[in-house]
Structure 1
Amino acid sequence: MSRIKRAVLAVLLMFMIVGVAGCNADYNQLLQKTKIPEEPLIRVQIQFTDQKQTICYVKSLGLEEKGQIYTGGASLNYMYDREGKIIGSFNYQRVVYMKILTDEESTD
């Protein structure tokens, strides 16, 4: 390469380095996969048809996106703990009602 081309490339490289270093952009974000925001968890008390009840978190009060419906009307929906980990599942066919609770509210 000629000296002029090397000088021009060196100047362009310096401008790029200064430009990238000078702005506060998060370049790691460009390399990560796009994250879909998680749905907020809803704290509920579920009353079942056998008179039993449980307090847990659900992602929705209807059939959730990851829930499944089987032939004959049975469904599979997940119960979560406070951190969003699956702790169990339930069938809407066996649910009498779901009462929305606040985090501070406790039931006997």
Structure 2
Amino acid sequence: MVAENTFRPPWFHRNLMNEFMGLIDGAYDAKAEGFMPGGSSLHNCMSAHGPDNITAEKAIAADLKPHKIENTMAFMFETGKVLRPSLHALACPQLQADYDACWNGMARTFNKESS
């Protein structure tokens, strides 16, 4: 991705939207612990989402300069409407049951006293 004069990569956020994203080809830069082509994720509002621990730590420590990502294609759409997976999707053997494990042990970096 290439961006200038920004604080962090665009996925470095929290919001109140419902997000569905998928990876068509290549690697997804916000999930260093793995997100395979053909995979998708759904984060409805008020649910935890964002980069995994490894990616977050690298982004916090990174020099804030433009960085070009090549040979990958991902998509995302956001809506104010709640998205509900089908029973077929919930029963899929490829469902990642421990999806939230990538945030285990994530350090707290927000300090309300200094904000």
Name the structure, 1 or 2, with higher relative contact order (CA <8 Å, separation 6+): 2
More strand by share: 1
Q: TM-score range, shorter-chain basis?
A: under 0.3
* Bigger Rg, structure 1 or 2: 1
TM-score under structure 1 length normalisation: 0.22
More helix by share: 1
